[in-house]
Each structure stands twice: as structure tokens, then as C-alpha cells.
Structure 1
Amino acid sequence: MKKIVIVEDDPFMREELREIFEKEGYPVVCIAEFDHVTDNIIQAAPGLVLLDINLPGISGFDICRELKRKAMLPVLVLTSRDQMKDELHALNLGADEYLTKPCRKERLLARAANLLRRYEGRSQLRPGMDFLLDSQTYTLYIHDRSVVLPPNQGRLLEAFLAHPGELMKKETLCMVLWGTTEFIDENALQVNLTRLKKTMRELTMMQQIETVRGLGYRLIAKEEKDEE
């Protein structure tokens, strides 16, 4: 079953929620430290995030905003804040469900199961730092817009996303584009890479493709590239 990540600062509530989901057979990870919480959630690779709003040092609203910017994960907000403005704010930030405490466990489990089902069909979406790539249509979702990439650019970007930060040799990229390394003009590969780099610059993406002279290419954060 899909993993559930619980972001809750109240230890009693946290353990109660853990018990509810574990009894249903879900693997559960609890977040109790709130430094770098978004990165910790993504690293846990959950199927669903259960998120409180009132947290020490950081707002659940901020976590929701950053999480939705970085990853394609369902977020169920579970909070004691029952004001309509809070619910609308969370939903506008991308939260998928909003429930108030106390909440019957049957309702909580049903909403969680529904979200997991809704996201099952989105496995073709590949996350970048600030974008999502649909690996079937090569549609890029970034900055509240969508851009359909030409097939070769889409194939290349998908390959880099599968190996972020790793060196991709020219031969590997030729296989990605043409399924062979024979009789391929290296200039053709360079043309496709140049076009993808231009697209990424124009969309001000947080990741860029770096050329490693004589070795190949890699996808890195733009800040790393700028520092060099």
C-alpha cells in the first residue's frame, strides 16, 4: 500500500493518526522536526501527505505551497482551524482536501483512500524542481502554465530527470533519441540539446543542462551553474 506521511506537531494526535493508518495496512512516516520539512517529505516518497496547519516555526500553508511547487503529491490538510478563509486559502495553494479536527476516522480514511485513487493515474508525471513533465505527451507544467515540448526535447528532458545531477554521456543521449549510436551525426544531438537549453532558459526553470567538456551533460540546479 502507498506510504502516508503525517506532518503533525502534537505527539498525541500524531500517534493516534499513525495508529489509524497502520491498522489499515498503510506504511506511515511521521514528521516531528520542522526544519527542511518539505525536502524531508519528498525524500520519504509518500503516496499521501497528511498536513497540519499550526506548526512550530513554519506554517502548514507555506509547506503546502512549496510541496505543490516541487512535487506531484496529494495533500490532505487536517487542522483545528475551521474558518472558511483558512480552508479556501489551503485549497487555493493546491491542497486536495481540507478536514477539521476532531474528525471521525471513517471519514478521514475514506478521504485519504479517495485521494490515493485520484493520483494513481498521474504516475506518468515526472517532477523537476519547479515543474512537472508528462512523459506521455511531453507537456511541461511550470509557473501556472503548460507548454508542449517537441518530442526530442521531451525525450531528452525525461532522460535527465531520471538521472538528476548524473553525467549523461553522448552515447546514452543518442540512444534516448534514436535508439542507436551508429551513423548519428553528433551535430544532430548538439542541435537538440541547444534547443532544449534555450527552452529551459526562456521558461526560467530552476534547473539547467550543464555541458561537461569531453564527457557529456548533466541536469543541475541553476544556482550551481551560476556559481561556476
Structure 2
Amino acid sequence: MIRITIVEDESFMREELSLILRKAGYEVYEVQIFQKTYEEILKSHPDLVLLDVNLPVQSGFEICKKLKEKSQCPVMILTSRTQLKDEIHGLELGAEEYLTKPFHKERLLARIQNLLRRSKGFYGSFSHMEDGEGFYLDKNTYTLFVEGQSAVLPETEGKLLELLIRKKGELVTKQELFQGVWGTAEYVDENILQVNMTRLRKSLRGFGLEGRVQTIRGQGYCLERKNYEGEKQDSGRIILGK
């Protein structure tokens, strides 16, 4: 099912849009926390974004620009701003559609259908983004995104980080890492894993993410794992208690 993310701070308008879209057969995600609007949109993995301009904290124009820097996911701006210069500005930032309020629901749905038809092939264009809580990883290109900065990780580092993110803070065993990165748990020198983990830590440190990758001694690694009863943490390494 096609998912449409609504970014609208006026609750009545957001609820009306949600009702219209659900009745039309779309899956809907409503952004209701606007301190980190951009991150909320990415987490929703949309096929299309309906974006208001007058938002708290950060304007829809700024959010549109950031979205278009990372994806071809179509964006339709919905706003009460009727001046031509605002429409031109939104389109120049990459928005595919600009619709002013108030509008008829039939017009909205027709614009959405047309936009999705034109953008066929880009559905789920955020689905390749893994959320590492404080950073994102594009698992197609192994590009690391942290607060407006980005860098492409070497393939091995990218695969390791993807596996760690997927387990959401839980232990990823050495065998799982060998299999996921090198395709086999046999004939792989453990030193290779340690060297690449060291390199990954160094890459993360360059983005202020020092300490995110932790070692479970004798077992494997995890991403920012919480201390459990009977464990001690020392120099970025988790050491199991006796």
C-alpha cells in the first residue's frame, strides 16, 4: 500500500487530510512532533509527502530542501500562501506540486494520483534508510548522514553498521557478522573483523558518534548497548561479569 506522510501542524487540517486519504485507500502517517520534523519524515518511509510551509521550529521550505538532497520521493506543498514567489520558491527547491488552501478534496486526490503516476519507480525511496538513533545509513550506498553532514563508508564498514543498526542495541554475534559481511562463518580470520570494527569506530568518531559501537567480549558487538545486570563498562567495551 502506498504510504503518504502528512506534515501539518494544524490538528484539524491534519485530521481532515488523513480521513480523505484513508478513504481513498492510502496508508497515512501523521507527523505530530515538530522538534525533529525531518527525522520524523524519514522514519515514516513515505512514498509521498504532503508538506505545509508554516511549521514550528523549521519551515516547510527548509524541510523540502533537505528531503530533496537525499531522495526523489515526491513532495506536494500544501499551504495558505498564495503568492507566486512562494510557489516558485517551493518548486525551485524540488517540490513536484504546490497546492494552495483551501482546496477541493477531488482536486487534491487527482493531484496526488498524477504525481504518483509521474513518480512511478520512486515508491519507498526512503525505505533504504536505516535509523541509527542520531544518524541514518543509506543501505544502498552506505552513505552515513549525521545532522546535515554525510560521508560514504567503505562497503565492509557499511555492512557492519547496517547489521548493528538492525539489531537495535542487541548483541550481534561474530558468526552473524561473518555471515552477513563475508557470506560465511568459516575460514574468516577474526582479526579481519576486529580491524574493520576499528575502522568503523574511527569513521563514526569523525561524526561525533564515538562510543556507539561496543564490544561484547568473546561474543560480538552491539550498537550503544545498555548495561545489563552483572556487566561493567570499561573504555568503550562491555565486559561480562562473572
TM-score where L is the length of structure 1: 0.70
Matches within 5 A, 1:170-181: 170-181=174-185
Cα distance in 1, alignment partners of residues 32 and 154 from structure 2 = 43
Query: What are the within-5 Å matches in structure 2 for residues 26-175 of structure 1?
Result: 26-31=26-31, 34=34, 41-55=41-55, 57-61=56-60, 64=63, 68=67, 74-87=74-87, 90=90, 95=95, 97-103=97-103, 104-114=107-117, 117-120=120-123, 122=125, 125-128=128-131, 129-135=134-140, 138-140=141-143, 142=145, 143=148, 147=152, 149-175=153-179
Bigger drift between 85-94 and 156-165 goes to 85-94
Query: How far did residue 87 of structure 1 move?
Result: 4.2
Deviation string, structure 1 residues 29-59 (Cα, Å, up to 9, x no partner): 444565665555555444333121224x444
The answer on whether the counterparts of 2:45 and 2:126 sit within 8 Å (CA) in structure 1 is: no
> Which consecutive residues of structure 2, in runs of 5 or more, have no partner in the other structure?
226-235, 237-242
Structure 1, unpaired ranges of 5+: 222-227
CA contact (8 A) 1:42 1:71 kept: no
Q: Which has the higher helix share?
A: 1
Q: In 2 relative to 1, CA 131–31 (structure 1 residues): closer, same or farther, beyond 3 Å? A: closer
TM-score for the superposition, normalised by structure 2 = 0.66
- Structure 2 counterpart of 1:201: 205
Alpha-carbon distance in 1 for matches of 2:126, 2:215 = 31
8 Å CA contact 1:48, 1:75 repeated in 2: yes
Matched position secondary structure for 1:164: coil
State the shift of 1:189 in Å. 0.8
Task: Please give the alpha-carbon distance, in whole angstroms, between the structure 2 residues aligned to 1:158 and 1:89.
Answer: 36
Distance 2:127 2:28 in 1: 24
Percent of pairs with identical residues? 38
Equivalent-residue separation in structure 2 for 1:47 and 1:192 (angstroms): 35
The letter for the 2-side match of 1:126 is M
Select between 175-184 and 90-99 the one with higher mean Cα deviation: 90-99
Quick one: which amino acid aligns to residue 77 of structure 2?
V
The structure-2 alpha-carbon separation of the partners of 1:12 and 1:193, relative to structure 1 and needing over 3 Å to count, comes to closer
**3-state SS in 1 of match to 2:168:** coil
1:201–1:86 CA distance, 2 compared to 1 (3 A) = farther
C-alpha separation between the residues in 2 aligned to 1:125 and 1:29? 18
Distance 1:80 1:51, change over 3 A: same
What is the aligned residue count? Answer: 219
- Give, in angstroms, the shift of residue 132 of structure 1: 4.0
Cα RMSD, aligned residues only? 4.1
1:123, distance to aligned residue in structure 2 (A) = 6.4
| Cα contact 1:64–1:94 (8 A) shared by 2 | no
Q: 2:21 is matched with which residue? A: 21
- Cα offset, 1:219, TM superposition: 2.7
Q: Does 1:216 align with 2:220?
A: yes
For residues 94 and 166 of structure 1, the distance between their equivalents in structure 2, rounded to whole angstroms, comes to 39
